């Protein structure tokens, strides 16, 4: 697993495209662009799509969340072992739309590592990025509130938003990779994010809601 | 859907048996006992097992939880449409291990109904059973704390625990069915629960952790 | 307690006016308007203001929240007995900014009743209003999302939003009073809400953030 | 504030002794023992007791929780400014009975610092202790699940539970002090905790539920 680090992860969220034929089509576009460009793209579809999409496509597939629990008397929870068994390669943890307690972030990272899942912990600022780095996940994905759903691009925003968070992560653990998790919509944004120290990007609607996901993905990886 | 009301629903929780070959074996036992006895048995496995188990077996399959959200920008949530598309027949809502806010219970029931999923709302006492009945779900499953994980059987406990909750539900909406959701381990318990006014039972470890699930299920349905 | 039912409750939220001299001034205005108009006004200030404001003013003082717990090993929780001992007359429960699980709404109502606190359960639609009525609180305060923070007045909105919720509450328990909890800013709004079946109103910023709270309160009670 | 660091903080929780005359008596005992021994003792009573106890006693008084919010439209929340205005010297954050999301722990530490409150962030293991240290609170209070409510003393438990957490904290930020937050009931426990690298202890029922709190507190500080 150690050598597989996507530059782009597409979060399908629970958009109506997150399951069924739409999910299949986005995955297909991601696979094609990934192969053509040589830039590895990961996808995070709905839970029930983990199995079919990981079977049909040569892409790292991520769960959108796992709970920090081990097998036992929990109802409705997401077991790291179960998403792994379904074919997941990794998992998002603590996404801004699925916040966990500090104890549960640690528990989820731990459970995911034990299940051999790559871990992507989402954070919202410098302090939480540093804290997340203390868990030694594979990635910290920074989602600054200033850039979430505001239409503000990481390319035009205050560069310190990303670079300071990257530094905070690397100061705690230099081996943790960083994804820019908001303000990304074009190849220019991806380029800028990487210039600011990010190792890649995490994005969602820009690809998932696109009329032509392949076109958007092609642009996204064009300047890497 | 209106004529399909299982007498027994088995919650696989996130026990290690909730996915993979163990889940398959429990489903197989449920199908056999269901066919032999003529008593309909439903199963609530892990999310990723909804698709394979609903394909392989003639059993109503339930999600363990759905969120009260419509398709959109939610990450890690369980979409009623998505579990329906995966083959689910119904869903548990507000299980004691997955409590929802009052507003989210209503939202989840609403989302599940729109996705044509049968709804089983779990409650903990008379007051919450009455409140849940106001949502007009297909079932209210009563899990009295006095009977959860205590080893106390519904057959030996204070009968008022079940009968008063049944009355509270029926007073609000007489068409809502009631499941006894704790204190059930044998056919005698099932018989007693039904005598007290329940329409069926919801149980978990007694079947899921059994060496021989078929034997346990056979006993459970033996006195109905 | 049975005869004291305010027509207007002012939620101080955690605005900067919710504590200290601002809170004192709003309470003073409420007391003056209450005395002059004969319309009873209640206030829900910050927790730490419950004691001083209930000592200084002849107004029913409400906590903004209580937890559904009895005295014991809980940290940071709001004990019904403790707010009662501090001088509270009642409490809001399940406000849209402080949602509780179904089980905890029931627990909080129960704890508040045992501590002799008047109960005001907040809800967001017809279904949850009906469910809340099953707990037999003193008030259900309906906060329709269509009217929260949208600037839309209850006087101009679809009348069915309020009247259907009032009917749903009364159908379950005719003794439960109803407050209109959103879309209220003027005496005209209060008049309309009462015409639609509400027994009173719950509001916040319109009074708390006003330059002259006394003027706003005088207008609010002017058409009752 | 920088020179005031209690060696013992007593969390009153929401025991029935957390408010009223019992709270007063425990505070009185803490003040007496503090003066006689020269060992500073802090208390964390119920919210409504912050004002009276901080007026009557020369003890640092802590809130049991603050929310990570600034003044605004939040209902039922605990504002750092408000507890400061009531007389609090500091606050617990993220107690095991009041877990916060990673983002909210950071927000609460930030809000507390801006309100000039000393911060005590509670954690449950090495990973979360390290993460909490990244927020640069005044204290991290380690509550290992192995020692919470088990009757196991820190003096007899695996020493690594405390010492490894202390090291993890100091590695991230050497200026953060550490409290042992579980497994403490006697002066011997306190002595052992300090030998293992802790700067003090956080405890609750051992003092609060004691017949003679003064006696227990005297013993607790006797070997420092």
The answer to whether the beta carbons of residues B188 and B149 sit under 8 Å apart is: no
Q: Residue C178's pLDDT is what?
A: 97
Q: Is residue D3 part of a domain?
A: no
Q: Name the percent of chain A lying above pLDDT 70.
A: 99
* pLDDT tens, position by position, D32-78: 999 999 999 999 999 999 999 999 999 999 999 999 999 999 999 99
The 3-state secondary structure of D175-206, one letter per residue: CCEEEECCCCCCHHHHHHHHHCCCCEEEECHH
CB-based contact (8 Å) between A13 and chain B? yes
Residue D125 counted as domain residue: yes
Give the distance from residue A184's alpha carbon to the nearest chain B alpha carbon, in angstroms: 16
Residue in chain A closest to D131 (alpha carbons) equals A131
Q: Count of CB atoms within 10 A of residue D26's CB?
A: 25
Least confident of A154-168, A176-190, A197-211: A154-168
CB nearest A101 (choices: D101, D133, D135): D101
Position C72 scores a pLDDT of: 96
- Please name the residue that has the structure tokens 């601002």: C22
Residue D12 has pLDDT above 50, yes or no: yes
**pLDDT tens profile C39-56:** 999 999 999 999 999 999
pLDDT given at position D154: 86
The per-residue pLDDT for A2 is 52
Average pLDDT over chain D reads: 95
Q: What is the pLDDT of residues A170-193, one digit of tens each?
A: 999 999 999 999 999 999 999 999
Task: Tell me what pLDDT residue B151 has.
Answer: 82
Whether residue C1 has pLDDT greater than 50: no
Q: Which of B81, B95, B97, B116 is catalytic?
A: B95
Residues shown for chain D? 224
Q: What pairing do the DSSP bridges indicate for beta strands C118-123 and C139-142?
A: parallel
Is A1 inside a domain boundary?
Answer: no
Q: Does residue A1 surpass a pLDDT of 80?
A: no
Indicate if A65 belongs to the active site: no
Which residues of chain C lie closer than 8 angstroms to D204, CB-CB? 73, 75
When pLDDT is cut at 50, 70 and 90, the band that residue D1 belongs to is very low
For residue B123, what are its two tokens?
């409650």
CATH number of the structural domain spanning residue C144: 3.20.20.70
Share of chain B above pLDDT 90, in %: 89
The conformational region for residue C170 under phi > 0 = left, psi -120 to 50 = alpha, else beta, is: alpha
Mean pLDDT value across chain C: 95
Task: Give a yes or no: residue B187 inside a domain.
Answer: yes
- Residue D2, pLDDT above cutoff 70: no
Q: How far is A107 from chain D (nearest CA, A)?
A: 9
Structure token digits, residue A199: 């190792």
With 90 as the cut, is the pLDDT of residue C122 above it?
yes
* Residue A12 pLDDT: 98
Q: Out of A131-140, B201-210, C152-161, which region has the weakest mean confidence (pLDDT)?
A: C152-161
**Mean of the per-residue pLDDT values of chain A:** 95
| Touching chains, D (3+ CB pairs < 8 A) | A, C
Residue A197 scores a pLDDT above 50: yes
A51 touches chain B (CB under 8 A): yes
- Taking the C-alpha atoms of residue A176 and residue A135, their distance in angstroms, rounded to an integer, is 9
Share of chain A above pLDDT 90, in %: 89
Distance from CA of B65 to the nearest CA of C (A): 15
Give the DSSP per-residue string, D80-107. Answer: HHHHHHTT--EEEES-TTS--BHHHHHH
* C42-93 tens-digit pLDDT: 999 999 999 999 999 999 999 999 999 999 999 999 999 999 999 999 999 9
**Domain tally, chain C:** 1
* Window B:154-213, CB contacts with C under 8 Å: 168, 172
Average pLDDT of the segment spanning C143-167 = 88
Q: At residue D176, does pLDDT exceed 60?
A: yes
Contact B103 C101 (CB under 8 A): no
Mean pLDDT of B203-221: 96
D101 touches chain C (CB under 8 A): no
- Could you tell me if residue C146 is inside a domain? yes
D64 touches chain C (CB under 8 A): yes
Contacts of A83 in chain B (CB under 8 A): 48
> What pLDDT digit, counting tens, does each position of D46-56 carry?
999 999 999 99
A2 found inside a domain: no
Residue A18 forms contact with B (CB below 8 Å): yes
C-alpha span between B34 and B220 (Å, rounded): 11
Q: Which helix (H) or strand (E) holds A116?
A: none
Question: Is residue D2 in a domain?
Answer: no
Check CB contact under 8 Å for D106 and A125.
Answer: yes
- A154 domain-assigned: yes
What pLDDT does C2 receive?
Answer: 52
Residue B90 near residue B73 (C-beta atoms within 8 A): no
Distance, CA of D192 to CA of D184 (rounded, Å) = 9
Selecting from A46, A78, A96 the residue whose C-beta is nearest the C-beta of B82 gives A46
Position B157 scores a pLDDT of: 87
Angle at D108 (CA atoms; ends D104, D111), nearest 5 degrees: 135
pLDDT tens by residue, B129-168:
999 999 999 999 999 988 887 888 888 888 898 999 999 9
Q: Return the structure tokens found at C111.
A: 């704890």
Say how far residue A191 (Cα) sits from the centre of its chain.
Answer: 17
Structural domain of residue D141, as residue ranges?
8-220
**Chain B contact partners (≥3 CB pairs within 8 A):** A, C
Percent of chain B whose predicted confidence (pLDDT) is above 70: 99
Q: Do B183 and B189 meet the contact criterion of CB atoms below 8 Å apart?
A: yes
Provide the whole-model pTM: 0.96
- Specify the pLDDT at position A155: 80
| pLDDT tens digit sequence for A85-118 | 999 999 999 999 999 999 999 999 999 999 999 9
Is the distance from CB of D66 to CB of D117 less than 8 angstroms?
yes
Q: Please name the member of B14, B48, B83 whose beta carbon is closest to the beta carbon of A77.
A: B14
What is the pLDDT of chain B when averaged over all its residues?
95
Residue D98 near chain C (CB below 8 Å): yes
Is the ipTM beyond the 0.85 threshold?
yes
Concerning whether B95 is annotated as a catalytic residue, the answer is: yes
pLDDT of residue B1: 46
Contact C25, C213 (CB under 8 A): yes
């Amino acid at each position: 697993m150690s050598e597989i680090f996507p530059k782009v992860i597409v979060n399908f969220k629970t958009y109506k495209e997150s399951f069924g034929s739409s999910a299949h089509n986005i995955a297909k576009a991601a696979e094609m662009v990934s192969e053509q460009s040589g830039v590895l793209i990961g996808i995070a579809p709905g839970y029930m799509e983990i199995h079919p999409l990981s079977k049909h496509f040569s892409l790292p597939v991520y769960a959108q969340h796992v709970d920090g629990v081990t097998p036992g008397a929990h109802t409705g929870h997401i077991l790291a072992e179960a998403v792994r068994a379904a074919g997941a390669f990794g998992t998002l943890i603590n996404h801004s739309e699925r916040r966990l307690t500090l104890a549960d972030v640690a528990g989820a990272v731990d459970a995911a590592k034990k299940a051999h899942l790559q871990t992507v912990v989402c954070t919202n600022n410098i302090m939480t990025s540093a804290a997340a780095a203390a868990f030694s996940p594979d990635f910290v994905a920074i989602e600054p509130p200033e850039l979430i759903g505001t239409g503000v691009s990481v390319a035009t925003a205050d560069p310190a938003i990303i670079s300071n968070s990257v530094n905070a992560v690397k100061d705690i653990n230099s081996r943790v990779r960083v994804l820019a998790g908001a303000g990304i919509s074009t190849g220019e944004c991806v380029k800028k994010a990487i210039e600011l120290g990010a190792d890649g990007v995490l994005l969602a609607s820009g690809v998932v809601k696109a009329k032509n996901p392949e076109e958007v993905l092609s642009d996204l990886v064009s300047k890497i």
